Amino acid sequence: MKLAKKTLLPIAACAALALTLSACGGSGGSSTQSAAKNSSAAPTVRIMVGGLDKQIYLPVMLAQQLGYYKAQGLDVKLSDEPAGVEAETAMISGQVDAVVGFYDHNIDLQSKGKSTESVVQLLQAPGEVEMVRSDEAGSIKGPADFAGKHLGVTGLGSSTNFLTEYLEAKNGVKAGKATSVAVGAGSTFVAAMKNKQIDAGMTTEPTVSMLEQQKLGKPLIDMRTVAGAKAALGGTYPASALYMNTAYVQKNPATVQKLVNAYVETLKWIQTHTAAQIADKMPADYYSGVGKAVYTKALQNEKGMYSPTGLMPADGPRTVLKVLSTFDPTVKGHTIDLAKTYTNDFVNKAK
């Protein structure tokens, strides 16, 4: 599979520019007033995704492919960063307006004095799989065997890093006894396994299928379903979400509502279509590394991870806080106001 790069994908830039130019010409004609109205209804939103071609973030590109951003009058520009922690940094620094990444970053950021919030939940399970290298499968039977091992994560400080450290702590592996290695996803993760840079690692589809197809790795802990996540993490673990700085949400409620509308419609579309129909809508390079048939099968197996509504699961924030409090020194022992890390208001209005 082609490794994701930091490329911008303009969705309606030309249309927005044309409307803007029309609005600037003339002085009071009905066509001019109409153009000005349409231009003002097409705000530009820059969204960075922690791996656009990952199935856990599939709704982002699917919304574009279905034309839902355009239908809401939005000029959405998508950019790609393989590690969610880098996307988070880009948003905090003002490079982008929003991030599609794991909800857990909002709790971590609040503990560091930052105010961000999830406005729509795309996944109700992490969709992550801890893969053990095939030649290490005999010695790594579970997280208790992680001591002394090199464990692949998308990036240091990423959600895969959070989950890995939790599994270590939960299973008696003391801090520092295992080594997290940032290896990204897709081809770089596969290469790390192949070159024995890592003994095990946490990743998602279609990387999981790539590893199995090449007989490089085997699933050790599977969190592609709600049940699998509960077994590993002790509760519902909401994952992929659209989140933003709270100040942006408060300043741009109409724009946020349009984005949420697009994603709620996309989630509904997923629920009423087959994996094959969904795969047909995705860009060909999303499944070129494994083949469309394998990509579709993987999607079918984990289709239940997508939220049917976009709402935050009632027990989700508490589970995430429990996980982060186990190992994250900035969260552990600190008071976290979970109500400020997400909102269901926009999803409720979209429904």
Domains of the chain: 9-125+238-350 (3.40.190.10), 128-223 (3.40.190.10)
Per-10-residue mean pLDDT of the chain, 351 residues long, equals 37 36 37 40 89 94 98 96 78 95 95 96 96 96 96 91 94 94 93 97 93 95 94 94 98 98 98 98 92 95 96 96 92 93 98 73
pLDDT at 86: 79
pLDDT at 238: 96
Q: Which two tokens stand for residue 215?
A: 């007989």
Instruction: Name beta bridge partners: 45.
Output: 76
List Cβ neighbours of 336 (8 Å cut-off, separation of 6 or more): 107, 110, 111, 321
Q: Which two tokens stand for residue 137?
A: 């499968």
pLDDT at 44: 96
CA torsion 288-290-294-297 (nearest 10°) is -80
pTM (predicted TM-score)? 0.84
pLDDT at 322: 95
305 torsion bin: left (phi>0), alpha (psi -120 to 50), beta (else): alpha
User: How many angstroms separate the CA atoms of 274 and 277, rounded?
Assistant: 5
pLDDT at 24: 37
Q: Which two tokens stand for residue 114?
A: 């930052």
| pLDDT tens, residue by residue, 69-117 | 999 999 999 999 866 677 888 999 999 999 999 999 999 999 999 999 9
